[in-house]
């Protein structure tokens, strides 16, 4: 039985370490037919593993892909392209000058790895431009750029508008330099949690295609029911045999509970089809893997990292709790994130706390809902903690009665107001 890749973000480690890899290379193959793309998903959804997989793919490491869909079903050339991979998730960017220095250090490290010693040392943007040109000239192959957690420096300071805007400007200038280098580039992939408006950070990247709600890439990350059944059947059977999660030892009953707790995510129109089939909703990989490891239902995704930026924005904007019910938004509202005016729907959707329930094609409106029990339970606790300024432990105690009302938000709101008195 293969090991569970809990917290692993390095493709080579997953493959060489005999961990389960849910084969996403069919969607990756279609992805790399694009030129310059942006892709947003909530945290812990598999974006970093996707970035690592792309790095290995463009580095021509075919041995890592043996037996996977792309190796068996395509004529992919496996040519070697120089790769510029940047992970901006590190907390080393508390000021614009820190972010500038951090970007320059990362670019210098990449240059040294390719034995390039003469690149511009002026601004991050000019360094990136110089690095791209020199890599293309040295290897005779166009360059691949992969940027993970592109929005992390801004999100980390979302409560400080002035600092967030300053950091945003540093990144805007950095990304703008890519615009005029199309002839040197093979593929550009930028990913993160939020989709900042094009005018605020991607103003220079007119060719950037936002595929976040494109049905072709709906299953690029996240687990479907079929994937859980196929890749984790041995783990499911082991849990069933222990008869701890469900007394009956029925695998189907366990899977139904997994779906209730961790399934429900939808990132495109339900009217669209994926692979010619009806759209399938997704599970949170991190929660599923932790459940399979510990055989206990808990709020693993939420507990893995406090949604600090969400809490900060909720406190600042003072959104009424009633506004969390029956959320509706159009495409532009869902996919736009302006730090000066953050729509509640965009905030919750992009962070993964609500998902698409259905779509009205006549009015181009999406109805949103909390995707599953984990999110519903955790988010409402979070809201209460923010609004009441109670500690989490106090909230847990008070929520004994509120749990009963989770499926009936109106009843929840009534009890919430009682708690405030």
Cα dihedral 44, 292, 265, 407 in deg (nearest 10): -120
Q: What is the DSSP letter of 226?
A: H
DSSP H helices in 244-352: 251-262, 285-294, 300-303, 308-317, 331-334, 344-351
Give the pLDDT score at 155.
85
Give the pLDDT score at 81.
98
Give the separation between CA 208 and CA 71, rounded to whole angstroms: 28
Give the pLDDT score at 260.
97
Give the pLDDT score at 14.
98
Over range 372-390, report the average pLDDT: 79
Give the pLDDT score at 100.
95
Whether residue 41 contacts residue 267, with contact meaning beta carbons closer than 8 Å, is answered with yes
Of 88-102, 118-132, 175-189, least confident by mean pLDDT is: 88-102
Give the domain ranges of the chain.
11-217, 225-289, 308-420
Give the number of other Cβ atoms within 10 Å of residue 12's Cβ.
15
Task: Supply the pTM of this predicted model.
Answer: 0.89
Over range 108-128, report the average pLDDT: 90
Give the separation between CA 113 and CA 387, rounded to whole angstroms: 50
Give the pLDDT score at 392.
57
Band (208; pLDDT cuts 50, 70, 90): confident
Q: Is the pLDDT score of 368 beyond 60? A: yes
Q: What is the DSSP letter of 2?
A: P
Give the separation between CA 220 and CA 267, rounded to whole angstroms: 11
Model confidence over 246-294: pLDDT tens digits? 888 899 999 999 999 999 999 986 555 555 555 679 999 999 999 999 9
CATH hierarchy code of domain 11-217? 3.40.50
Whether residue 83 contacts residue 144, with contact meaning beta carbons closer than 8 Å, is answered with yes
Give the pLDDT score at 148.
97
Give the pLDDT score at 149.
94
Over range 327-332, report the average pLDDT: 87
Token pair, residue 267, equals: 């990132």
Whether residue 205 contacts residue 35, with contact meaning beta carbons closer than 8 Å, is answered with no
* Spacing of C-alpha 89 from chain mean position: 12
* Spacing of C-alpha 1 from chain mean position: 28
Q: Is the pLDDT score of 3 beyond 80? A: yes
DSSP 67-133: TSHHHHH---------EEEEE--SS--SSHHHHHHHHHHHHHHHHHHTT------S-HHHHHHHHHH
DSSP H helices in 144-201: 152-155, 161-176
């Amino acid at each position: 039985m293969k090991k569970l890749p809990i917290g692993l973000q390095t493709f080579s480690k997953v493959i060489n370490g005999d961990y389960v890899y849910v084969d996403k290379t069919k969607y990756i193959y279609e992805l790399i037919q694009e030129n310059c793309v942006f892709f947003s998903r909530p945290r812990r959804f598999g974006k970093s593993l996707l970035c690592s997989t792309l790095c290995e793919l463009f580095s021509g490491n075919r041995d890592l892909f043996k037996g996977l869909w792309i190796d068996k079903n395509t004529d992919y050339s496996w040519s070697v392209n120089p790769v510029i991979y940047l992970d901006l998730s590190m907390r080393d960017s508390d000021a614009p000058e820190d972010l500038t220095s951090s970007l320059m250090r990362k670019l210098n490290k990449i240059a040294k790895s390719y034995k390039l010693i003469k690149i511009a040392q002026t601004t991050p943007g000019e360094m990136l431009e110089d690095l791209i040109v020199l890599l293309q000239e040295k290897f005779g192959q166009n360059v691949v750029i992969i940027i993970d957690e592109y929005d992390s420096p801004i999100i980390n300071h979302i409560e400080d508008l002035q600092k967030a805007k300053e950091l945003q400007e540093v990144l805007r200038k950095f990304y703008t330099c890519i615009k005029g280098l199309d002839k040197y580039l093979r593929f550009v992939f930028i990913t993160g949690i939020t989709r900042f408006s094009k005018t605020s950070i991607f103003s220079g990247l007119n060719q950037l295609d936002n595929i976040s709600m494109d049905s072709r890439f709906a299953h690029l990350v996240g687990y479907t029911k079929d994937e859980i059944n196929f890749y984790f059947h041995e783990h499911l059977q082991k849990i069933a045999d222990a008869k701890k999660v469900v007394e009956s030892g029925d695998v189907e009953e366990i899977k139904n509970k997994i779906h209730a707790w961790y399934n429900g995510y939808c990132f495109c129109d339900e009217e669209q089809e994926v692979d010619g089939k009806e759209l399938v909703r997704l599970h949170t990989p991190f929660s599923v893997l932790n459940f399979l490891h510990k055989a206990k239902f808990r709020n693993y995704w939420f507990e893995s990292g406090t949604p600090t930026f969400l809490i900060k924005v909720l406190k600042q904007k003072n959104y009424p709790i009633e506004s969390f019910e029956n959320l509706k938004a159009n495409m532009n509202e869902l996919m736009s994130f302006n730090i000066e005016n953050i729509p509640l729907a965009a905030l919750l959707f992009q962070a993964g706390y609500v998902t698409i329930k259905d779509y009205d094609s006549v009015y181009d409106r999406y109805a949103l809902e909390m995707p599953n029990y984990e999110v519903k339970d955790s988010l409402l606790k979070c809201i209460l903690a923010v609004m009441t300024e109670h500690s989490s432990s106090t909230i847990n105690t008070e929520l004994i009665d509120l749990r009963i009302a989770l499926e009936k938000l109106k009843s929840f709101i009534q009890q919430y107001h009682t708690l405030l008195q």
